[in-house]
Amino acid sequence: MCLGISVPVQASSASAAVATADGTVAELYRLVTFEAGSTPDWAQVASLFIDEAVIVLRTSRENTTVFSVKGFVDDFIQFIERADAGETGFVEEIVSTKSMVFGDIAHVLVLYEASIPGSPRPPQQGVDSFQLIKKDGRWWIVAVTNELPTTDKPVPVELRNR
């Protein structure tokens, strides 16, 4: 699969970033974080996922949206444009993780904080749940689901104070 970008999504060369499940997840957060005046390398972002990956994100407090990898990238690009984040940059940092690896499958639960530098809004916390597989000597993201903590739905105990 190619996202209209010159680099195929599933390049088979393994790198240090995708040698572990945790490293693959950390690489995604690193790649979507960018400084003012730049934007992510979307081909690199897409290269972390299998072609058939499913991404289910909380798009408001009440709604979730199911995306393909291309849909996820397109939605992120639209967010950057709506928020003028190209002018300010964007930060999405891992606060804590809880991982479980069994053979060639893994689950990584992530507490993250997302923010736009210079914004008066405080960072938004969220919880991402990643499912990954090891194939061809590296880890691939198969699925991501997302939830936003609230007073009624606090951060899972596994991710607190880590």
Q: What is the pLDDT of residues 14-65, one digit of tens each?
A: 489 999 999 999 999 999 999 999 999 999 999 999 999 999 999 888 999 9
CATH architecture of 18-159: Roll (3.10)
- pLDDT tens track for 102-159: 999 999 999 999 999 999 999 999 999 999 999 999 999 999 999 999 999 999 999 9
The residues spanned by each domain of the chain are 18-159
- Quote the tokens at residue 155: 């951060």
Instruction: Please state the pTM of the whole predicted model.
Output: 0.89
**Strand, helix or coil for residue 92:** strand
- Quote the tokens at residue 63: 């709604």
Largest Cα span, the chain: 45
Spatial CA neighbour of 28 closest among 162, 128, 147, 154: 128
